[in-house]
Amino acid sequence: MQTIVFAGAGSMAEAIIQGWVNKGVVLPQSIYVMNKSNKLKLQDIANRYGVQVVSDRREVLSKADCVILAMKPKDVVAGMKDIAPLLGEKTAVLSVVAGTSIETIQENLGHRAVARVMPNTSATIGMSASGIAFSDEVAQSLNATFLQLLEAIGVVIEVKEHELHAVTALSGSGPAYLYYLIEAFEQAGMKYGLEQSTVRTLAVQTVAGAAEMLKQTSEEPKALRKKVTSPGGTTAAGIQALKNHHFKETIQACIDDATKRSIELAKE
């Protein structure tokens, strides 16, 4: 793709841009950024990554190979109506907006090739976990191009569009849950006199090590958990506390509420 335009320049857009530029997957001069009003943010992104700020929207959008919708959900319909008259006939659309359906995108931008993807901000370091769904208009070659672009910033799995609500709740929002867990680890460790930096180092490495064990072995999480949990030991005491405080039910409620919110956004 020679011209990729980001319509919206928030955290997710910047994470993807940083991942692509740092990995050398897309040339900075092929990436354009635009948003509704925050010109300082656009210039900051341009200065950081060497990408282009859209100056003539009609010229850039008419020749764009792909427009990436990266606005806030509340702004997406107005944003699409704003750019719709300027898009070229063959311009494809990739949306990272939570809750906005392919049908809604095509109602506003025409029946063109559309893909919806839910990455996460770990795209910044090439470690995103993304789910993607395609409209019927996406040809096989374009499908492969989208997958190649997203594989460059992490793992991408094709799913059915309705499954993106759960993907949003799990991996899209997932980093925030894990950061919240690290916050809790730090508070708990500091209660017993450990330095915050010490707890963070231990917690981060523990999470990274456990994740790598799951990646490198074929064992189930339950089996790995049981290997760590000696009867009557410290881990068993900790696991029992998690059970007593309904840890699994809390995680389920977290995913349920995030999924419901994604569905609500699709209706707004």
Angle between helices 102-109 and 76-83 (to 10 degrees): 30
Mean pLDDT (the chain, rounded): 94
**Among the listed ranges 34-48, 52-66, 226-240, which one has the minimum average pLDDT value?**
34-48
Element (H, E) at 155: strand 154-158
Six token digits for residue 45: 């992104």
The whole-number pLDDT of residue 227 equals: 96
pTM over 0.75: yes
DSSP 52: E
Res 37 pLDDT > 90: no
Is the pLDDT score of 8 beyond 80?
A: yes
**Mean pLDDT computed over 177-192:** 97
Copy the structure tokens of residue 112: 């063109």
Average confidence (pLDDT) over 216-233: 96
Residues 72, 100 contacting (CB under 8 angstroms): no
Question: Over 80-145, what HEC string results?
Answer: HHHHHHHCCCCCEEEECCCCCCHHHHHHHHCCCCEEEEECCHHHHHCCEEEEEEECCCCCHHHHHH
Q: Which two tokens stand for residue 264?
A: 């609500």
